[in-house]
Amino acid sequence: MTEGVDPAFLHRLDEVADRVTVALDQLIPPAAGPEARLMRAMRHGALGRGKRLRPFLAIETGRMFGAQEKSLLRAACAIECVHAYSLIHDDLPCMDDDDLRRGQPTVHKAFDDATALLAGDALLTLAFEIMASPETHRDAMMRCRLIERMASAAGARGMVGGQMIDMHPDFEGEEPLALLTRMQRMKTGALISFSGEVGALLGGALESERHAILGYTNDLGLAFQIVDDLLDLRGDPAELGKATGKDRSKGKTNFVTLLGEEGAEARVRFLAAQAKQHLASFGARAASLLHTVDFVLHRGH
């Protein structure tokens, strides 16, 4: 399901995913003491096989700007902790009530609801602990800036706010496609955009370069979500590692129900072209980020 994507890129993606998983294994406390169950649940939620798309974006953007590898890896792990926590909480019965994630039982299925709740809380807390450590960057001003931006992307005006809209939108007469786009930009877009921004900040990118990266991640994030909605319609649950047809069975609005299948595909192609356009000024240095667009377009999961 990744035809049309450069094999060397796929190898690089796997390599980064492995490095992130190894680093996360070091950063999440070992399962010891009477609270060991918590660490086992954190590990179940964070160390499973994932694409690690957000860490990849952070690391590849940072490499383009010449950032330190160690800083990038630690910041990427903090982002992945935030992502893993959001999935754990999102899968809970009071939220999306999902039993399967990345082909494995979700944390509340493998453990129980309380343990999943706490494991998510602990991963979110760990994300900030990782980011604040002098090991992430020598300059405390940089660390504080990353923390402020991460909190903003993950919080009430970002990811969590998007989840709230997804569950119980206060409509205020907003047009459905505008509301859905806003919800997506907050729920998944904000953390994807922050991932690119981390690389730009750690690499000391110019203001204009940072804006180009932001434009790129905005389009990429939206394309990613529309592809997700297309996969929910026609993806293979075995390959996806999670249930499909969820939105349809719940009568939920998504980009495919609003734009139609062909309209959604056309929107994805448009966003992909626009995302690549934002990278034009970087030339060959942006090869990996360009391939990421193709990967998001052609992914089967």
Q: What is the DSSP letter of 101?
A: E
What are the structure tokens assigned to 135, written together? Answer: 């090991």
Query: Which residue lies nearer to a copy of itself by CB, 6 or 174?
Result: 174
CB atoms within 10 A of CB 201: 24
Q: Name the minimum Å distance from CB 180 to a copy of itself.
A: 10
Give the orientation angle of helix 69-91 with respect to helix 140-154, to 10 degrees: 20
Secondary element (H or E) of residue 276:
helix 255-278
Q: What stretches of the chain adopt beta strand conformation (E)?
A: 100-101, 104-105
Query: Which residue lies nearer to a copy of itself by CB, 136 or 292?
Result: 136
Query: Which residue lies nearer to a copy of itself by CB, 204 or 300?
Result: 204
Q: Name the minimum Å distance from CB 231 to a copy of itself.
A: 24
Q: Name the minimum Å distance from CB 15 to a copy of itself.
A: 29
Site residues for a copy of itself per CB under 8 A? 29, 33-39, 42, 85, 89, 92, 94-95, 112-115, 117-118, 120-122, 124-126, 128-129, 131-134, 139-141, 143-145, 147-148, 151-152, 154-157, 160-165, 167-172, 174, 179, 182-183, 186
Query: Which residue lies nearer to a copy of itself by CB, 156 or 266?
Result: 156
Q: Are 67 and 199 in contact (CB under 8 A)?
A: yes
Q: Name the minimum Å distance from CB 92 to a copy of itself.
A: 7
If you search the block for the tokens 């796997």, which residue do you land on?
14
Give which of 77, 147, 153, 91 is closest to 119, Cα–Cα.
91
Query: Which residue lies nearer to a copy of itself by CB, 142 or 233?
Result: 142
Q: Name the minimum Å distance from CB 300 to a copy of itself.
A: 30
Q: Are 221 and 193 in contact (CB under 8 A)?
A: yes
Q: Are 107 and 89 in contact (CB under 8 A)?
A: no
Q: Which residues of 22-37 are buried (b: 16+ CB within 10 A; e: fewer)?
A: ebbeebbeeeeeeeee
Query: Which residue lies nearer to a copy of itself by CB, 29 or 103?
Result: 29
Q: Name the minimum Å distance from CB 252 to a copy of itself.
A: 14
